[in-house]
A and B are shown apart, each in its own frame.
Chain A
Amino acid sequence: MRTSILAALWLVLRRDLLLAFRRPGHIVQPLAFFAVVAMLFPLGFTPELARLRDIAPGVLWVAALLSSLLALEFLFRDDAQDGTLEQFVLSGQSLTALLFARTLSHWLLTGLPLALMAPLLGVALGVPLAAMPGILGALALGTVSLSLIGAIGAGLTLGVRRGGVLLSLLTLPLAVPVLVFGARATELAIQGGAMAGPMYLLAALAVFGLTLAPLAAAAAVRIGLE
């Protein structure tokens, strides 16, 4: 009997989480990178917290964007090398759904930890404590879209040797709306303003991505495996 689609999703998700916890390096490295990039700004700009606060939204979002980009390397590469992706294609399940689960686990392992860590870095950038829930929410929502866009890019560069730079070039322009709305939401959170507007736009991007990106990622992976 064929496994139902929900059971298949759960199996993929559980497998990814298990694998990740046995190789914690893949979770920790993007987080460490996030912290290092955010640390470079006080060193390169100014140690004054009052001035850092002004650029904090941009710093947090650019650093998050870069570290989620770094984590994309792990999204399909190992699975393509050990044949897991081919098994996905041959399994008779919808590849779109399986890749959706794969992207979801990627978000749980990189996007969500990034969002959870952002308040810590925010403190170092002079962000008031009252802004933390807002920052966490904006990053958690924005990284969903980043993972989804990244899945398309990672799928497309499957067949490219040393595709890291290319992956960034493909993904970053598409991530511009997430950066714009996310940084604005963070800025409003820091200033104590109403951040509903940009949060709705971030949510709209996430919903749009959730509906279309797995389809494109599945097409890309199919082409990459040919």
Chain B
Amino acid sequence: MDWTWFHRLASPPYIYRLAATLTPWFAWPAGLLIAAGLYGGLVLAPPDYQQGDGFRIIYVHAPSAWLSLMIYSVMATAAAVGLIWRMKVAHAAAASCAGIGAWFTVVSLVTGMLWGKPMWGTYWVWDPRLTAQLILLFLYLGYMGLRSGIEDTARADRASAVLAIVGVVNIPIIRFSVEWWNSIHQAPSVMKMDRPSMPAEMLIPLLTMMVGFTLYFAAIMLVRLRAEILRRERSASWAREVVAS
């Protein structure tokens, strides 16, 4: 098998240019899909038979909750690649994920609270999903804190990579423990969200939003990745051509 593609992926100038080329290819479809999803979710989808128009929060809540977990796994994967193959670009990618992930974890919590108030009668319940999401936010904050706490970039990369991997191994255990805990101290007001199936005119806008947000993340991540690579390689000769043009 030909491995040159893999070695090229480790080359900062190649990745920098690739990221610059790819960004619009993610950004424009993301914008279009999010706009279409918004129209579909806010206008076309009928009100829910139980929750009326309140259910429309799902079109921002579910995509941000999805992003918060997906970004953590992307970050941990990049960190593991960086640690195993000592690939600096992968560490830069992991570094550019954390901030975005933390933002969308906060968004999923806030939109969840805003959804909970009319449906559960309170902004916060110690529901397993909310609790696990809160812990995820602390994992992100710890990762970012460790990164900023170590001055030497190479060491910060490797230490935070170990933390990201430890975190990703622990997330399923934390989720299990929190669900187990909740099943014992069952809060009476918790409403079951799982319904057998969603009608297509509700589901299609949701899927559109999820895909749109995923592409949006890819675009933002690529811009951050370029900034991160340039910050690390600012003395390299290839950087001269890039910043002069």
Contacts and interface: CB of A to CB of B under 8 A. Distances in A.
A6 interface: no
A223 B184 CA distance: 41
B166 A216 contact: yes
Contact of A220 (B142, B159, B177, B181): B159
A78 B163 CA distance: 22
B169 interface: yes
B106 interface: no
A176 B149 contact: no
A160 B150 contact: yes
A159 to B, nearest CB: 5
Interface string B165-180: 1110110011011101
A166 B145 contact: yes
A169 B158 CA distance: 18
Contacts of A180: 177-178, 180-181
Given A160-B146, A163-B149, A172 B138 contact: yes
A187 B145 CA distance: 34
B81 interface: no
Categorize the interface residue count of chain A: 20 to 34
Interface in B174-206: 174, 176-178, 180-181, 184
A27 B141 CA distance: 31
A181 interface: yes
Residue with the highest number of chain B CB atoms closer than 10 Å, among A174, A177, A216, A226: A174
13 contacts: A152-B166, A159-B149, A159-B155, A169-B141, A169-B145, A170-B142, A170-B163, A172-B138, A176-B174, A181-B180, A184-B181, A220-B162, A226-B154
Contact of A176 (B135, B162, B163): B135
B139 interface: yes
Given A159-B150, A184-B184, A224 B159 contact: yes
Contact of B162 (A160, A161, A223): A223
B146 A174 contact: no
Given A181-B177, A184-B181, A223 B167 contact: no
Interface string A161-205: 101001001101110110011001000000000000000010001
Interface of B: 135, 138-139, 141-142, 145-146, 149-150, 152, 154-155, 158-159, 162-163, 165-167, 169-170, 173-174, 176-178, 180-181, 184
Contacts, number: 78
Contact of A212 (B142, B158, B169, B181): B169
Contact of B135 (A157, A161, A173): A173
A85 to B, nearest CB: 15
A210 interface: no
A219 interface: yes
**Considering the complex of A and B, which 5 residue pairs feature the smallest CB-CB distances, nearest first?**
A177-B177, A160-B149, A173-B138, A170-B142, A180-B177
Contact of A156 (B141, B146, B154): B146
Contact of B174 (A159, A173, A216, A226): A173
A149 B170 CA distance: 11
B163 A156 contact: yes
A216 B155 contact: no
Contacts of A212: 169
A166 to B, nearest CB: 5
Contacts of B158: 223, 226
Given A156-B146, A180-B178, A223-B158, 4 more contacts: A177-B177, A223-B162, A224-B155, A226-B155
A157 B181 contact: no
Contacts of A226: 154-155, 158
